[in-house]
């Protein structure tokens, strides 16, 4: 089973690129973030036409998450029952015996801001909820835009980023708390090229200069990690005209 995550930064704008990418990569399950679409505008028919079912939770302008799947989606759940949130950032579904959780983690704006406090609370609540989910679903994958670079090697210039939002100690500690639940970073199960990132600012020719961060991740429960054959970042879509600022991450399970 091929699982992927991609922050598309507007599904309306990126739909043609998504369709092209689905044809090229043929993933079984795709988690999308920042769809920025109300549910009534979700392109179900276009995706159905190329073989994908959809589960989605959107809103106008901001946020919005979706899971696409070639196989039926069961037990669709939106949000974290332990955290009332007006922002559509979490959706889960069961596909082929795997509990797939798709998350668009808060950005946090800047360390010390209200949005940063919300991010840390959101992360705490996520960890508490996943502890229960893992007990229910030992085969669980958490895919999405975490908005956290876990380690210095995930940052193009760790000195400049130290203590900044996306790479602050509290955020990295929250990421480690997810690992302490027994989840494994699929990307780090394998040898990887140095300076592999998943997000590059649109400005400053950041992509061309590879000034990026690795903030999109696939975490796998122990049971799934043992079946993981490969994990990589697909930089191709970031080279397109009018790209998303994020690249997809793909993991292959036996």
Partner DNA sequence: ATGGCGGCTCGCAGCCGA
Name the residues that contact DNA, by CB under 7 A: 7, 9-10, 12-13, 34, 36, 60-62, 106-107, 109-110, 115, 145, 147, 157, 160-161, 165-166, 199, 201-204, 206, 213, 215, 242, 245-246
Q: How far is the CB of 169 from DNA (least distance, A)?
A: 17
Q: How far is the CB of 105 from DNA (least distance, A)?
A: 8
Burial of residue 192 (CB within 10 Å: 0-12, 13-18, 19+) is middle
Tell me, yes or no, if 246 is annotated catalytic: yes
The one catalytic residue in 28, 52, 104, 216 is 104
Name the binding residues for Mg(2+). Answer: 7, 34, 145, 147, 245-246
118 belongs to the catalytic site: no
Q: Is 96 left (phi over 0), alpha (psi -120 to 50) or beta?
A: left
The pair of structure tokens assigned to 168 is 């602050």
Instruction: Please identify which of the residues 52, 154, 185, 246 carries the catalytic annotation.
Output: 246
Smallest distance from the beta carbon of 247 to DNA, in angstroms? 12
Please, what is the minimum distance in Å from the beta carbon of residue 35 to DNA?
Answer: 9
> Rg (Cα) of the chain, in Å, rounded?
17
CB of 98 to DNA, least distance (A): 25
Cβ closer to DNA: 34 or 185? 34
What whole-number distance in Å separates Cα of residue 102 and Cα of residue 32?
A: 7
Active-site residue, from 28, 52, 116, 145: 145
Q: Is 28 an active-site residue? A: no
The span from the CA of 155 to the CA of 121, in Å, is 24
User: Do the bridges between strand 140-145 and strand 2-7 make them parallel or antiparallel, or are there none, so unpaired?
Assistant: unpaired
State the catalytic residues: 104, 145, 246
């Amino acid at each position: 089973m091929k699982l992927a995550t991609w922050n598309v930064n507007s599904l309306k704008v990126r739909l043609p690129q998504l369709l092209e990418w689905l044809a090229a990569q043929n993933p079984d399950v795709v988690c999308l973030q920042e769809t920025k679409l109300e549910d009534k505008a979700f392109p179900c028919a276009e995706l159905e036409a190329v073989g994908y079912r959809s589960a989605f939770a959107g809103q106008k302008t901001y946020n919005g998450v979706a899971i696409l799947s070639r196989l039926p989606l069961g037990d669709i759940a939106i949000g974290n029952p332990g955290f009332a949130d007006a922002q559509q950032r979490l959706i889960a579904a069961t596909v082929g015996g795997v509990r797939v959780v798709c998350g668009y983690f808060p950005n946090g704006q800047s360390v010390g801001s209200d949005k940063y406090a919300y991010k840390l609370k959101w992360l705490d609540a996520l960890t508490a909820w996943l502890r229960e989910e893992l007990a229910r679903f030992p085969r669980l994958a958490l895919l999405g835009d975490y908005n956290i670079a876990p380690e210095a090697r995930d940052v193009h210039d760790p000195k400049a980023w130290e203590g900044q939002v996306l790479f602050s100690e509290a955020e990295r500690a929250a990421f480690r708390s997810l690992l302490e639940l027994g989840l494994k970073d699929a990307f780090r199960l394998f040898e990887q090229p140095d300076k592999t990132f998943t997000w590059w600012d649109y400005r400053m020719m950041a992509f061309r200069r590879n000034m990026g961060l690795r903030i999109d991740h696939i975490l796998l429960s122990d049971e799934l990690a043992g079946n993981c054959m490969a994990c990589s970042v697909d930089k191709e879509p970031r080279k397109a005209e009018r790209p998303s600022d994020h690249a997809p991450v793909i993991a292959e399970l036996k």
